[in-house]
C-alpha cells in the first residue's frame, strides 16, 4: 500500500467509525424523547453548524493559500515577506471571542433549563442504585424493587434519587436526559419525563471496572393503564410452584445458595440484596445488567457458567448441570 492509499483507507475507517455512532436508536440528536434531550439536541446542532462554518472558512482559506501561493517552477526569488496585519488580527480575534460568548450564553441557558425541576410535583419517585455491574430500581412509594429495566409512565415527572453501593457509576439515557454521576456515600438527584411510550436504552457512562461496558439498562415508558398493571403485578408475591419440576427448582433456589444474594418472593421475603431481585424476573426482557435478552437458552448458559457470558461479574457460583432444568423451570414461573 502506498502512502496515498493508506491515507484513503485510514480516512474511510475514521468516517465509518464516527458515523456508526450516530445511527443507533439511542441517538438523542435525531431521536430525542424528552424536553431535556430536545434542549441538548438543539445545543449540539447549533455547535455543529457554527463549528462547520468555521471549519469550512478556515480549511478553505488554507487550501486557497496553498494552491494560490504555491511555489511555481520558474520562481527564483523569495516571495515578499509580510509582518503583521492589524485588521486581520483584529478579525481573527474578535470572531472567535464572539462565537465563544454566544456558545457560553446558550450553554448556560441549556444547563439551567435541563437542571430545573418540572413545574409540578413528582408523579413517580425511583431510587436508582448502581451495583457492579447492574442497576437496581426501587420505587419507595410503591414498595417495588426491580433491576435493569425501569418502567415509568409516559408523560409523568419522574424524580430519580441516585445511589451507589460500591464505586462511581453514571446514569445515562441519552434520549431522555444527560448523565448524572452515581457516587457512593453521596445522594444525587435528577428528573426525567418521557414524551412518548417506548424503550429507551441506557448505559453506565463512568468507567467502573471490567464489566462497565455491560452495565446497561432500559427505561420502558408505557401508558398509564399499562403502568398500573405493571405495578399491580410487581407488588404480588412470587407465585407458588405448580409442577414437580418447578417445585424441585423452588427448593433448590429458596433453600440453596441463590437467596444468599437474590431476593425472591416479594417485598416481605427474605433474601440477599447483593444481586438483582428475582421475584418477577420473567417480567423483564433482559438480564445480567441488560447484557442479554432474557430467554431459556441465554439463562441456561448463564446458570451453567456466568463468567463465560460476563467475565468478572460478581456471580461466581454456578448451578450443577443436573439441577439446571429444575431451576430454569422455577425461574420461568417468576413472571
Ligand atoms: Cu458502572 Cu460503568
- Judge if 215 and 133 occupy the same domain: yes
- Whether 310 is in the pocket of ligand 1, judged by its Cβ within 6 Å, is no
Is the domain of 92 the same as that of 163?
no
Q: Is 216 near ligand 1, meaning CB less than 6 Å away?
A: no
Here the CATH number for the domain that contains residue 280 is 2.60.40.420
User: Is there a single domain that holds both residue 30 and residue 99?
Assistant: yes
CA of 9 relative to ligand 1 center, distance in Å: 34
Distance of alpha carbon 150 from alpha carbon 144, whole angstroms: 11
* Same-domain status, 182 and 254: no
Same domain, 110 and 130: no
9: in domain: no
Same domain, 229 and 131: yes
CB 296, CB 216: distance < 8 Å: no
| CB of 169 shorter than 6 A to ligand 1 | yes
Query: Does residue 16 sit within a domain?
Result: no
Is residue 3 a part of any domain in this protein?
no
Strand positions, DSSP E, the chain: 124-131, 134-139, 144-147, 149-153, 158-164, 169-171, 180-182, 188-192, 198-203, 216-222, 286-287, 292-293
Same domain, yes or no: 46 and 110:
yes
CA of 296 to the centre of ligand 1 (A): 27
Q: Which of 234, 269, 290 is a domain's end point?
A: 234
Q: Are 239 and 233 in contact (CB under 8 A)?
A: no
**The predicted structure's pLDDT at residue 252:** 87
Q: Is the CB of 131 under 6 A from ligand 1?
A: no
CA of 179 from ligand 1 middle (Å) equals 12
**What's 60's domain CATH number?**
1.10.287.90
For 27, phi then psi, to 5°, come to -65, 120
Residue 18: inside a domain: no
pLDDT for 267 equals: 41
- Ligand 1 pocket, 206 CB below 6 A? yes
215 Cβ closer than 6 Å to some ligand 1 atom: yes
Point out the ligand 1 atom lying closest to the alpha carbon of residue 207.
2
Same domain? 148 vs 96 = no
Does the residue 17 lie in any domain? no
Q: Write down the pTM of the prediction.
A: 0.82
Three-class DSSP category at 308: helix
The counts of H helices and E strands in the chain are 8, 12
The answer to whether residues 25 and 198 touch, using CB atoms and an 8 Å cutoff, is no
Pocket lining: 207 vs ligand 1, CB cutoff 6 Å: yes
- Whether 168 and 149 map to the same domain: the answer is yes
From the list 131, 70, 114, 117, the residue with the least C-alpha distance to 261 is 131
Mean pLDDT, 10 residues at a time, the chain of 335 residues: 62 60 65 90 93 95 94 86 90 93 94 86 94 95 93 95 96 93 96 94 95 95 96 89 89 84 70 87 92 93 92 88 91 89
User: Which pLDDT score, from 0 to 100, does residue 130 have?
Assistant: 96
Are both 68 and 157 inside the same structural domain? Answer: no
Q: Is the dihedral of CA 306, 308, 313, 318 positive or negative?
A: positive
Structural domain harbouring 264: 244-331
Both 111 and 128 in one domain: the answer is no
Q: Which of 200, 234, 268 is the last residue of a domain?
A: 234
Residue 40 lies in a domain: yes
Distance CA 202, CA 107 (A): 24
One domain, residues 129 and 224: yes
The total number of structural domains in the chain stands at 3
Cα(199) to ligand 1 centroid in Å equals 20
Gap from CA of 211 to ligand 1 centroid (Å): 8
β-bridge mates for residue 135, sequence order: 130
* Residue 54, domain member (yes or no): yes
Distance 210 CA to ligand 1 centre (A): 9
Amino acid at each position: 500500500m502506498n502512502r496515498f492509499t493508506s491515507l484513503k483507507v485510514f480516512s474511510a475507517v475514521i468516517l465509518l467509525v464516527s458515523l456508526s455512532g450516530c445511527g443507533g436508536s439511542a441517538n438523542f440528536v435525531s431521536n430525542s424523547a424528552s424536553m431535556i434531550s430536545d434542549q441538548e439536541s438543539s445545543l449540539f446542532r447549533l455547535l455543529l453548524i457554527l463549528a462547520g462554518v468555521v471549519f469550512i472558512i478556515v480549511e478553505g482559506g488554507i487550501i486557497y493559500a496553498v494552491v494560490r501561493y504555491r511555489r511555481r517552477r520558474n520562481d527564483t526569488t523569495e516571495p515578499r515577506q509580510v509582518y503583521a496585519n492589524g485588521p486581520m488580527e483584529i478579525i481573527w480575534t474578535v470572531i472567535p471571542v464572539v462565537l465563544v460568548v454566544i456558545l457560553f450564553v446558550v450553554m448556560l441557558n441549556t444547563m439551567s433549563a435541563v437542571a430545573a425541576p418540572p413545574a409540578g410535583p413528582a408523579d413517580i419517585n425511583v431510587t436508582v442504585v448502581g451495583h457492579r455491574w447492574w442497576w437496581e430500581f426501587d420505587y419507595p412509594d410503591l414498595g417495588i424493587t426491580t433491576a435493569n429495566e425501569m418502567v415509568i409512565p409516559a408523560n409523568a415527572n419522574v424524580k430519580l434519587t441516585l445511589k451507589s453501593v460500591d464505586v462511581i457509576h453514571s446514569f445515562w439515557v441519552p434520549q431522555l436526559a444527560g448523565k448524572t454521576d452515581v457516587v457512593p456515600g453521596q445522594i444525587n438527584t435528577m428528573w426525567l419525563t418521557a414524551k412518548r411510550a417506548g424503550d429507551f436504552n441506557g448505559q453506565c457512562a463512568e468507567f467502573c471496572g471490567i464489566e462497565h461496558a455491560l452495565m446497561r439498562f432500559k427505561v420502558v415508558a408505557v401508558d398509564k393503564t399499562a403502568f398500573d398493571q405493571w405495578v399491580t403485578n410487581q407488588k404480588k408475591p412470587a407465585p407458588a410452584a405448580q409442577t414437580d419440576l418447578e417445585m424441585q427448582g423452588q427448593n433448590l433456589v429458596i433453600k440453596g445458595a441463590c437467596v444468599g444474594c437474590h431476593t425472591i418472593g416479594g417485598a416481605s421475603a427474605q433474601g440477599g440484596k447483593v444481586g438483582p431481585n428475582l421475584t418477577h424476573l420473567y417480567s423483564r426482557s433482559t438480564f445480567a445488567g441488560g447484557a442479554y435478552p432474557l430467554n431459556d437458552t441465554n439463562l441456561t448458559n448463564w446458570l451453567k457458567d456466568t463468567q463465560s457470558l460476563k467475565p468478572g461479574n460478581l456471580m461466581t457460583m454456578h448451578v450443577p448441570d443436573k439441577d439446571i432444568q429444575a431451576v430454569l423451570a422455577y425461574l420461568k414461573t417468576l413472571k
